Amino acid sequence: MEQIWAPWRMQYIEGPKASGCILCQKPREDNDEANLILYRGEKNFIILNSFPYNPGHLMVASYRHLGLLEELTGDELGEHLDMVKRCVRLLNKTLKPNGFNIGINIGKIAGAGIDDHIHTHIVPRWQGDSNFMPVLSNTKVIPEALAATYKKLKEALG
């Protein structure tokens, strides 16, 4: 039997669970690296997903606590989409994926883990990144630690 090691996951399993909205709390703190915030805009920010589907799984979120896309102002939405584009360029440059899944889950029934704060997922995809693990054992292997991915992406941002 093969074993797969992902020791960095223990800090999430054993660590304290945040109360309130993490997409509101994290940008208020002055610790972007620990909070995985890669970039701050005027109305939105880019954050590395703490529970990624794939390495480099980013999210763009507004600073304002809004649950619906139509609640964003034109300026907020414009910057939001510009940041999604920036994420795609950044990931293409650094991780060189073969494609992307980009999406917004609105509401718990649609799969939103944080259903009351609008955010867009940018998930890089590679040929063969879906293998037997998710199919047979409902397990996803992330081959790079979050801190290493953060550092790589932050350096590429300049």
For domain 19-157, give the CATH number. 3.30.428.10
Q: Which residues are known catalytic residues?
A: 119
pTM attached to this predicted model: 0.79
DSSP states of 32-49 as a string?
A: HHHHTEEEE-SSEEEEE-
List, in sequence order, every residue forming a beta bridge with 122; answer none if it has no partner.
58, 102
pLDDT tens sequence for the chain (158 residues): 455 555 555 665 666 666 789 999 999 999 999 999 999 999 999 999 988 888 899 999 999 999 999 999 999 999 999 999 999 999 999 999 999 999 998 888 877 788 899 999 999 998 876 644 444 345 555 667 888 888 999 899 87
Contact assessment for residue 67 and residue 115, using Cβ atoms and an 8 Å cutoff: yes
Over its C-alpha atoms, the chain yields an Rg (Å, rounded) of 16
